[in-house]
Amino acid sequence: MIRLEGISKSYNGRQALRAITARVERGEFLFLSGPSGAGKSTFLRLLYRAELPDSGNIEVNGSDLLRLRRREVAEFRRRLGVIFQDFKLLRRRTVAENVTFVLSLLNLSERDQQRRAYLVLKQMGLQQRTGAFPDELSGGEQQRVAIARALVLQPDLILADEPTGNLDPERSHELLELFKTINYQGTTVVVATHDRGLIAAHPARTLFLERGSVVRDGWGSAA
């Protein structure tokens, strides 16, 4: 599902990732953990091809990311559910439009888009806020919209960058339970978080990053 070989990435001479080699199997649940600046977000950005590595190879969902053509990048991303740390919601579109937009890219009928969007927004407790614009929502609500947008695609792989950063503890645990449920159904889930408590409460394989290198690869927060 995910294969990284000797991945390095630097920004303006500062090394963000150093020769990372890792493998995540289909249906696996993986935490990426580490302090701020450890390289978790860069790791994820490379996985959804927002960045290209300086060296090394990446394969995700059977696609060699270094060889993808521009048109194929869009197709590749449509098979991913990405939850961004800063939500990345479309500001000029309502909650419902933010969710149905990704479905419209799959050429689903208007009716199917509305139905699927409603179900996932209901799951996120946002069914009363479908007509609101992102700026009218709290941080937690925005995060839940971002999660809904990622889940509505029913992707093969979910990449989540600090998805609980703006959620209260109860919502955070609910979200992790949801990820686990989705994972049990066969979806691969990669969650970047610095919240060790969350990892302890939902133990799974964890890659611990520090200064751009994988320092531990093991089970739960003990990693």
Q: Which is nearer to other proteins, 29 or 48 (CB)?
A: 48
Return the residues of window 9-48 that contact other proteins according to CB under 8 A. 48
Chain-centroid distance of CA 157 in Å reads 8
Q: HEC string of 63-101?
A: EECCCCCHHHHHHHHHCEEEECCCCCCCCCCCHHHHHHH
Chain-centroid distance of CA 29 in Å reads 12
How many Cβ atoms sit within 10 Å of the Cβ of residue 112?
13
Return the residues of window 52-71 that contact other proteins according to CB under 8 A. 52, 70-71
Q: Which is nearer to other proteins, 2 or 199 (CB)?
A: 2
Query: Minimum distance from CB of 101 to other proteins (Å)?
Result: 5
Rounded distance, CA 46 to CA 131, Å? 33
Return the residues of window 140-169 that contact other proteins according to CB under 8 A. 149
88 is a contact residue toward other proteins (CB under 8 A): yes
Q: Which is nearer to other proteins, 93 or 211 (CB)?
A: 93
Query: Minimum distance from CB of 42 to other proteins (Å)?
Result: 14
φ and ψ of 115, to 5 deg? -65, -50
Rounded distance, CA 210 to CA 191, Å? 16
From 66, 74, 200, 222, residue interacting with other proteins (rule: CB under 8 A): 74
Binding site for other proteins (CB under 8 A): 48, 50-52, 70-71, 73-75, 77-78, 80, 82, 84, 88-93, 97, 100-102, 104-105, 107, 110, 149
